[in-house]
């Protein structure tokens, strides 16, 4: 809803309206995770503009993919980023699982969002996945194939490094323009 208000009307949260009940710090995020881990997962995905996989009617196996972000590379080839969100204890095995999920889903990049700080073995495992070289119309950049983002990072504005124009699949809403004109005579 926040994204639609911003895209359609140019409204900014905290400036033009107030969001009630959404976490604004790690303690609030932890409380949301304890209350409803699916709502936590969807909220965490919204912090990076990712499209959630599945919906609240099918709280089942997600095959290791909680969200996706699409992007395009040279030649107009559509690619995607798979995202996993964890609210509990994490370790290097989760990063190895993400590697396998990326391979199965043929994803170029993977993001691991965690409420808890990443451990050193997790960071080593992520680095061992290597880099992805992206090119598109004169733009060129290397990205870590797996990035670990903590909720603390995301709340302080430290977003993952993604290819330009990567998006979670939500079409940008058309901005509402104020109608200007004359009213016809009523008689």
DSSP assignment of 61-105, as one string?
Answer: --TT-SEEEEEEEGGGEEEEEEEEEE-S---HHHHHHHHHHHHHH
d(CA 35, CA 39): 8
Mean per-residue pLDDT, 29-56:
91
Q: Is the CB of residue 150 less than 8 Å from the CB of residue 118?
A: yes
Q: Is the CB of residue 94 less than 8 Å from the CB of residue 110?
A: no
Mean per-residue pLDDT, 28-54:
94
Under the banding of pLDDT at 50, 70 and 90, the label for residue 41 is very high
Under the banding of pLDDT at 50, 70 and 90, the label for residue 26 is very high
pLDDT on residue 57: 47
Sheet holding 77-86, edge to edge: 51-52, 67-73, 77-86, 109-114, 146-150
Whole-prediction pTM: 0.81
Contacts of 40 (CB under 8 A, 6+ apart): 29, 32, 33, 85, 87, 115
pLDDT on residue 165: 80
pLDDT on residue 43: 95
Residue 172 pLDDT > 60: no
Mean per-residue pLDDT, 53-59:
62
Q: For domain 2-155, which CATH number applies: 3.40.1350.10, 1.10.10.10, 1.20.210.10, 2.30.110.10?
A: 3.40.1350.10
- Residue 116's SS3 state is coil
pLDDT tens figures, 99-152: 999 999 999 999 999 999 999 999 999 999 999 999 988 889 999 999 999 999
Q: Any idea where the domains of the chain sit in the sequence?
A: 2-155
pLDDT on residue 143: 96
Residue 155 pLDDT > 50: yes
pLDDT on residue 6: 73
Query: In the numeric block, which tokens belong to residue 97?
Result: 């699982």
Residue 166 pLDDT > 90: no
Element (H, E) at 9: helix 2-9
Element (H, E) at 139: strand 139-144
pLDDT on residue 138: 85
Q: By CB neighbour count within 10 A (0-12 exposed, 13-18 middle, 19+ buried), where does 64 fall?
A: middle
Among residues 68, 155, 152, the alpha carbon closest in space to that of 118 is found at: 152
Contacts of 160 (CB under 8 A, 6+ apart): 48, 111, 147, 149
Under the banding of pLDDT at 50, 70 and 90, the label for residue 34 is very high
């Amino acid at each position: 809803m926040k994204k639609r208000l911003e895209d359609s009307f140019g409204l900014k949260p905290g400036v033009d309206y107030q969001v009630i009940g959404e976490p604004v710090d790690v303690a609030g995020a932890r409380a949301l995770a304890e209350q409803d881990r699916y709502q936590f997962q969807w909220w965490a995905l919204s912090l990076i503009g990712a499209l959630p996989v599945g919906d609240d009617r099918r709280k089942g196996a997600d095959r290791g993919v909680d969200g996706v972000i699409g992007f395009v590379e040279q030649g107009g080839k559509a690619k995607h980023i798979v995202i996993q969100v964890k609210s509990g204890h994490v370790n290097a095995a989760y990063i190895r699982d993400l590697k396998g999920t990326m391979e199965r889903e043929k994803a170029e990049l993977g993001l691991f969002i965690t409420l808890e700080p990443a451990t050193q073995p997790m960071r080593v495992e992520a680095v061992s996945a290597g880099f992805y070289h992206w090119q598109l119309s004169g733009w060129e950049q290397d990205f870590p194939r797996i990035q670990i983002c903590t909720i603390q990072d995301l709340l302080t504005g430290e977003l993952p490094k993604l290819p330009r124009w990567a998006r979670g699949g939500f079409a940008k809403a058309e901005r509402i323009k104020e109608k200007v004109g004359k009213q016809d005579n009523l008689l």
